[in-house]
Amino acid sequence: MGGAPIDQHKQVLGYCAECDREWGPARREHLGRWLECPENPCHYAAVVRGDTGKHWLRIESWLRTYELKISPVNLLGLKHKAGYWVLIRFVALVFFLIGSSVDSTYLWIPLLCLTGYLLADILIANTSVALFT
Ligand SMILES: [Zn+2]
């Protein structure tokens, strides 16, 4: 009977963020290593530490899903032309801000929604860059 008690919340383990599956325990030196989920090899799975690591992996997984499916960059087919997208987004935001000063509810509400979508995209894309680089 020796050694430090195992803290279940900080245990190093394999985790799939998409099907909420756990494997483990894993070795500490394998932290951050990508895993292949037996459920689906395309799932987002890695070796993480405890509940905090699982939480961050779920956020990364959501950001990846956003980038691949919901982001306007992908919807407009500009995946490999990020520079064009930054320019288009800037021009669109200026246009929306000018357009929102027009006194028309029919124009104002869709412009506000589009502006919110573009601003959310800027925030999510930058968060994604901060996490993945
Ligand atoms: Zn999985």
Domains of the chain, by residue range, sit at: 1-69, 71-133
Please give the average per-residue pLDDT across 24-40, as a whole number.
92
Please give the average per-residue pLDDT across 57-68, as a whole number.
89
Using the predicted structure, report yes or no on whether residue 78 has a pLDDT greater than 80.
Answer: no
Q: Which spans in the chain are helix H?
A: 50-65, 72-75, 82-99, 105-132
pLDDT at 2: 45
Ligand 1 center to residue 38 CA distance, Å?
7
Give, as residue ranges, everything with CB less than 5 Å from ion ligand 1: 16, 18-19, 37, 39, 43
pTM exceeding the 0.75 threshold for the entire prediction: no
Number of H helices, E strands in the chain: 4, 4
Ligand 1 center to residue 45 CA distance, Å?
7
pLDDT digit string (tens) for 80-104?
777 888 888 888 888 887 877 777 7
pLDDT at 123: 87
CA distance 11 to 23: 11
Question: Cβ contacts of residue 49 below 8 Å, gap of 6+?
Answer: 10, 11, 12, 31
